[in-house]
A = this chain, B = another copy of it.
Amino acid sequence: MALELWIEVDADGHRAGLPVDSDELLELARAIERAGSTLGGVLAHAGSSYGLSDADALRALAEQERAACVHAAERLRATGLPCPNVSVGSTPTALSAKGLPGVTEVRAGVYVFLDLMMANTGICTPDDIALSVLTTVIGHQPARGWAIVDAGWMALSRDRGTQGQGADQGYGWVCNAEGEVIDGLRVTECNQEHGIIQHLRGAALDIVDRLPVGTQLRILPNHACATGAQFSAYRALLPGGLVAPWPRMKGW
Protein backbone atom coordinates (compact mmCIF):
# COMPACT_ATOMS: atom_id res chain seq x y z
CA MET A 1 0.00 0.00 0.00
CA ALA A 2 1.32 3.45 -0.90
CA LEU A 3 1.29 5.62 2.19
CA GLU A 4 1.87 9.33 2.47
CA LEU A 5 4.68 9.69 4.98
CA TRP A 6 6.03 12.80 6.70
CA ILE A 7 9.46 13.23 8.23
CA GLU A 8 9.83 14.84 11.66
CA VAL A 9 12.83 17.13 11.97
CA ASP A 10 14.40 18.51 15.10
CA ALA A 11 14.18 22.30 15.24
CA ASP A 12 15.29 22.88 18.83
CA GLY A 13 17.00 19.78 20.26
CA HIS A 14 13.99 19.25 22.48
CA ARG A 15 12.77 15.73 21.80
CA ALA A 16 12.38 13.87 18.52
CA GLY A 17 13.12 14.30 14.81
CA LEU A 18 16.11 14.05 12.48
CA PRO A 19 18.72 16.83 12.40
CA VAL A 20 17.90 19.07 9.43
CA ASP A 21 21.46 18.93 8.05
CA SER A 22 21.87 15.18 8.47
CA ASP A 23 22.48 12.60 5.76
CA GLU A 24 19.73 10.54 7.39
CA LEU A 25 17.12 13.10 6.30
CA LEU A 26 17.91 12.49 2.62
CA GLU A 27 18.35 8.75 3.10
CA LEU A 28 14.98 8.43 4.78
CA ALA A 29 13.26 10.39 2.00
CA ARG A 30 14.87 8.13 -0.61
CA ALA A 31 13.82 5.04 1.35
CA ILE A 32 10.22 6.31 1.36
CA GLU A 33 10.40 6.74 -2.42
CA ARG A 34 11.97 3.30 -2.95
CA ALA A 35 9.19 1.74 -0.85
CA GLY A 36 6.63 3.14 -3.29
CA SER A 37 5.25 5.61 -0.74
CA THR A 38 4.95 9.39 -1.00
CA LEU A 39 6.79 12.00 1.02
CA GLY A 40 4.05 14.31 2.27
CA GLY A 41 6.35 16.83 3.91
CA VAL A 42 8.43 17.69 6.93
CA LEU A 43 7.20 18.72 10.36
CA ALA A 44 8.70 20.06 13.58
CA HIS A 45 7.45 21.02 17.04
CA ALA A 46 9.44 23.59 18.97
CA GLY A 47 8.33 22.31 22.36
CA SER A 48 11.17 24.10 24.13
CA SER A 49 9.07 27.26 23.72
CA TYR A 50 7.09 26.23 26.82
CA GLY A 51 10.14 27.08 28.92
CA LEU A 52 10.45 30.65 27.61
CA SER A 53 8.76 33.80 28.93
CA ASP A 54 10.37 36.55 26.87
CA ALA A 55 8.71 37.85 23.68
CA ASP A 56 12.04 38.34 21.87
CA ALA A 57 13.21 34.84 22.73
CA LEU A 58 9.87 33.39 21.54
CA ARG A 59 10.08 35.31 18.26
CA ALA A 60 13.62 34.03 17.77
CA LEU A 61 12.58 30.44 18.46
CA ALA A 62 9.61 30.77 16.08
CA GLU A 63 11.99 31.88 13.34
CA GLN A 64 14.44 29.09 14.23
CA GLU A 65 11.62 26.52 13.94
CA ARG A 66 10.41 27.96 10.64
CA ALA A 67 13.90 28.26 9.16
CA ALA A 68 14.91 24.73 10.22
CA CYS A 69 11.81 23.18 8.73
CA VAL A 70 12.01 25.16 5.48
CA HIS A 71 15.72 24.34 5.22
CA ALA A 72 14.98 20.62 5.55
CA ALA A 73 12.34 20.88 2.81
CA GLU A 74 14.73 22.77 0.52
CA ARG A 75 17.46 20.14 0.98
CA LEU A 76 14.98 17.46 -0.02
CA ARG A 77 13.72 19.43 -3.03
CA ALA A 78 17.32 20.15 -4.16
CA THR A 79 17.84 16.41 -4.64
CA GLY A 80 14.73 16.20 -6.81
CA LEU A 81 12.51 14.72 -4.11
CA PRO A 82 9.03 16.17 -3.59
CA CYS A 83 8.32 17.83 -0.28
CA PRO A 84 4.99 19.63 -0.68
CA ASN A 85 4.32 20.40 3.01
CA VAL A 86 6.26 22.25 5.67
CA SER A 87 4.52 22.05 9.04
CA VAL A 88 5.46 23.77 12.30
CA GLY A 89 3.87 23.43 15.72
CA SER A 90 3.75 24.81 19.27
CA THR A 91 1.33 27.51 20.40
CA PRO A 92 3.95 29.92 21.81
CA THR A 93 5.92 29.99 18.56
CA ALA A 94 2.77 30.08 16.38
CA LEU A 95 1.53 33.17 18.25
CA SER A 96 5.00 34.80 18.28
CA ALA A 97 6.11 34.31 14.68
CA LYS A 98 6.61 37.53 12.71
CA GLY A 99 6.06 35.69 9.47
CA LEU A 100 5.95 32.15 8.17
CA PRO A 101 7.31 32.19 4.59
CA GLY A 102 7.71 28.67 3.25
CA VAL A 103 5.42 27.15 5.89
CA THR A 104 2.25 25.44 4.63
CA GLU A 105 0.72 24.31 7.96
CA VAL A 106 0.71 25.38 11.62
CA ARG A 107 -0.24 22.61 14.06
CA ALA A 108 -0.62 24.66 17.25
CA GLY A 109 -3.20 23.10 19.57
CA VAL A 110 -3.69 24.69 22.96
CA TYR A 111 -4.16 28.16 21.45
CA VAL A 112 -7.88 27.42 21.15
CA PHE A 113 -8.24 27.50 24.96
CA LEU A 114 -4.96 28.82 26.36
CA ASP A 115 -4.01 28.14 29.99
CA LEU A 116 -1.74 29.20 32.87
CA MET A 117 1.33 27.67 31.20
CA MET A 118 0.67 29.83 28.16
CA ALA A 119 0.07 32.87 30.40
CA ASN A 120 3.48 32.17 31.96
CA THR A 121 5.11 32.32 28.52
CA GLY A 122 3.59 35.81 28.12
CA ILE A 123 1.55 35.05 24.99
CA CYS A 124 -1.76 35.62 26.81
CA THR A 125 -3.23 36.75 30.14
CA PRO A 126 -5.36 34.64 32.51
CA ASP A 127 -8.39 36.59 31.20
CA ASP A 128 -7.84 34.97 27.80
CA ILE A 129 -8.19 31.42 29.14
CA ALA A 130 -11.36 29.84 27.71
CA LEU A 131 -11.44 26.56 29.66
CA SER A 132 -12.24 26.17 33.35
CA VAL A 133 -13.48 23.46 35.70
CA LEU A 134 -16.69 24.27 37.58
CA THR A 135 -16.48 23.00 41.15
CA THR A 136 -18.21 23.35 44.53
CA VAL A 137 -16.87 23.93 48.04
CA ILE A 138 -17.66 20.79 50.08
CA GLY A 139 -15.79 21.40 53.34
CA HIS A 140 -13.06 23.21 55.25
CA GLN A 141 -10.11 22.71 57.53
CA PRO A 142 -10.34 26.13 59.22
CA ALA A 143 -7.17 25.76 61.28
CA ARG A 144 -5.19 25.18 58.09
CA GLY A 145 -6.99 27.86 56.09
CA TRP A 146 -8.30 25.24 53.67
CA ALA A 147 -11.45 25.23 51.59
CA ILE A 148 -11.99 21.77 50.10
CA VAL A 149 -13.64 21.47 46.68
CA ASP A 150 -14.99 18.49 44.75
CA ALA A 151 -12.48 18.88 41.90
CA GLY A 152 -9.32 16.91 42.53
CA TRP A 153 -6.77 15.90 39.95
CA MET A 154 -9.31 13.53 38.38
CA ALA A 155 -10.99 16.75 37.20
CA LEU A 156 -8.11 19.22 36.94
CA SER A 157 -5.52 16.66 35.79
CA ARG A 158 -2.18 15.99 37.44
CA ASP A 159 -0.49 18.44 35.08
CA ARG A 160 1.65 20.89 37.04
CA GLY A 161 3.25 22.35 33.97
CA THR A 162 3.74 25.76 35.60
CA GLN A 163 5.99 24.16 38.24
CA GLY A 164 8.93 24.17 35.84
CA GLN A 165 8.26 27.71 34.63
CA GLY A 166 8.97 31.09 36.20
CA ALA A 167 5.71 31.26 38.17
CA ASP A 168 4.30 28.12 39.82
CA GLN A 169 0.49 28.40 39.75
CA GLY A 170 -0.22 25.33 41.89
CA TYR A 171 -3.12 23.30 40.53
CA GLY A 172 -4.76 26.44 39.18
CA TRP A 173 -6.23 29.89 39.72
CA VAL A 174 -9.59 30.31 41.41
CA CYS A 175 -12.45 32.28 39.85
CA ASN A 176 -16.02 32.88 40.92
CA ALA A 177 -18.77 31.06 39.01
CA GLU A 178 -18.83 33.90 36.46
CA GLY A 179 -15.17 33.29 35.68
CA GLU A 180 -13.73 36.39 37.38
CA VAL A 181 -10.38 35.71 39.04
CA ILE A 182 -10.46 35.93 42.86
CA ASP A 183 -7.22 37.61 43.78
CA GLY A 184 -4.80 35.62 45.92
CA LEU A 185 -6.53 32.22 45.94
CA ARG A 186 -4.91 29.09 44.51
CA VAL A 187 -5.65 25.39 44.34
CA THR A 188 -2.54 24.47 46.30
CA GLU A 189 -2.99 20.71 46.55
CA CYS A 190 -5.05 17.96 45.01
CA ASN A 191 -6.02 14.43 45.88
CA GLN A 192 -7.88 12.21 43.48
CA GLU A 193 -11.33 13.69 44.14
CA HIS A 194 -10.52 16.68 46.40
CA GLY A 195 -8.87 20.01 45.73
CA ILE A 196 -7.55 22.29 48.47
CA ILE A 197 -7.87 26.06 48.07
CA GLN A 198 -5.73 28.37 50.15
CA HIS A 199 -4.97 32.05 50.26
CA LEU A 200 -1.44 32.77 49.07
CA ARG A 201 -0.90 35.26 51.87
CA GLY A 202 -1.45 32.74 54.63
CA ALA A 203 -4.28 31.36 56.72
CA ALA A 204 -5.26 34.81 58.01
CA LEU A 205 -8.09 34.88 55.51
CA ASP A 206 -11.33 33.62 57.00
CA ILE A 207 -11.80 31.00 54.33
CA VAL A 208 -14.98 29.54 55.87
CA ASP A 209 -16.85 32.86 55.68
CA ARG A 210 -15.47 33.77 52.31
CA LEU A 211 -16.07 30.40 50.64
CA PRO A 212 -18.97 28.72 52.48
CA VAL A 213 -20.00 25.16 51.66
CA GLY A 214 -21.93 25.18 48.40
CA THR A 215 -19.98 28.04 46.82
CA GLN A 216 -19.44 27.42 43.13
CA LEU A 217 -16.03 28.28 41.70
CA ARG A 218 -14.20 27.92 38.41
CA ILE A 219 -10.58 26.75 38.27
CA LEU A 220 -8.25 27.92 35.49
CA PRO A 221 -5.93 25.04 34.58
CA ASN A 222 -2.18 24.68 34.22
CA HIS A 223 -2.58 22.87 30.92
CA ALA A 224 -5.86 22.90 29.02
CA CYS A 225 -4.91 19.79 26.97
CA ALA A 226 -4.50 17.67 30.08
CA THR A 227 -7.57 19.08 31.83
CA GLY A 228 -9.81 18.66 28.80
CA ALA A 229 -8.67 15.04 28.47
CA GLN A 230 -10.17 14.25 31.88
CA PHE A 231 -13.67 14.82 30.47
CA SER A 232 -15.73 13.21 27.71
CA ALA A 233 -17.39 16.51 26.73
CA TYR A 234 -17.08 20.26 27.11
CA ARG A 235 -19.93 22.45 28.28
CA ALA A 236 -19.82 25.50 26.06
CA LEU A 237 -21.20 28.68 27.63
CA LEU A 238 -23.33 30.43 25.05
CA PRO A 239 -24.67 34.00 25.19
CA GLY A 240 -27.51 34.16 27.68
CA GLY A 241 -25.94 31.53 29.93
CA LEU A 242 -27.09 28.58 27.85
CA VAL A 243 -24.91 25.51 28.15
CA ALA A 244 -24.30 23.31 25.13
CA PRO A 245 -22.51 19.94 25.43
CA TRP A 246 -19.62 19.56 22.99
CA PRO A 247 -18.40 15.95 22.80
CA ARG A 248 -14.64 15.63 22.50
CA MET A 249 -12.47 12.98 20.93
CA LYS A 250 -10.98 10.53 23.39
CA GLY A 251 -7.78 8.68 22.67
CA TRP A 252 -4.64 9.72 20.91
**Chain A contacts to B: CB under 8 angstroms:** 8, 15-16, 47, 139, 141, 148, 152-155, 157-160, 191-194, 196, 225-226, 229-230, 232, 250-252
5 residue pairs of the A-B complex, CB under 8 angstroms, read A15-B141, A154-B226, A158-B160, A192-B225, A229-B230
A154 adjacent to B191 (CB under 8 Å): no
The interface residues of chain B lying within 8 Å CB-to-CB of A225 are 154, 192
Looking at the complex, which one of B193, B226, B230, B252 makes contact with A155 (CB distance below 8 Å)? B252
The interface residues of chain B lying within 8 Å CB-to-CB of A15 are 141, 148, 191, 194, 196
The interface residues of chain B lying within 8 Å CB-to-CB of A159 are 153, 158
How many Å lie between the Cα of A8 and that of B140 in the bound state? 12
How many Å lie between the Cα of A34 and that of B141 in the bound state? 25
* Whole-angstrom distance between the Cβ of A18 and the nearest chain B Cβ: 9
A158 adjacent to B155 (CB under 8 Å): no
The interface residues of chain B lying within 8 Å CB-to-CB of A153 are 159, 226
The interface residues of chain B lying within 8 Å CB-to-CB of A191 are 15, 47
- The 7 closest A-B CB pairs, nearest first, are A158-B158, A154-B252, A158-B159, A232-B250, A16-B139, A16-B148, A193-B252
* Whole-angstrom distance between the Cβ of A210 and the nearest chain B Cβ: 18
The interface residues of chain B lying within 8 Å CB-to-CB of A148 are 15-16
The interface residues of chain B lying within 8 Å CB-to-CB of A139 are 8, 16
* Whole-angstrom distance between the Cβ of A13 and the nearest chain B Cβ: 9
* Whole-angstrom distance between the Cβ of A33 and the nearest chain B Cβ: 19
* Whole-angstrom distance between the Cβ of A86 and the nearest chain B Cβ: 20
How many Å lie between the Cα of A148 and that of B10 in the bound state? 14
How many Å lie between the Cα of A185 and that of B174 in the bound state? 40
How many Å lie between the Cα of A191 and that of B14 in the bound state? 11
How many Å lie between the Cα of A139 and that of B16 in the bound state? 8
How many Å lie between the Cα of A38 and that of B82 in the bound state? 74
How many Å lie between the Cα of A196 and that of B15 in the bound state? 9
How many Å lie between the Cα of A196 and that of B14 in the bound state? 12
The interface residues of chain B lying within 8 Å CB-to-CB of A160 are 158
Given contacts A15-B141, A154-B229, 9 further A-B contacts (CB under 8 A): A15-B148, A15-B194, A16-B139, A47-B191, A155-B252, A157-B158, A158-B160, A232-B232, A232-B251
How many Å lie between the Cα of A108 and that of B252 in the bound state? 30
* Whole-angstrom distance between the Cβ of A136 and the nearest chain B Cβ: 13
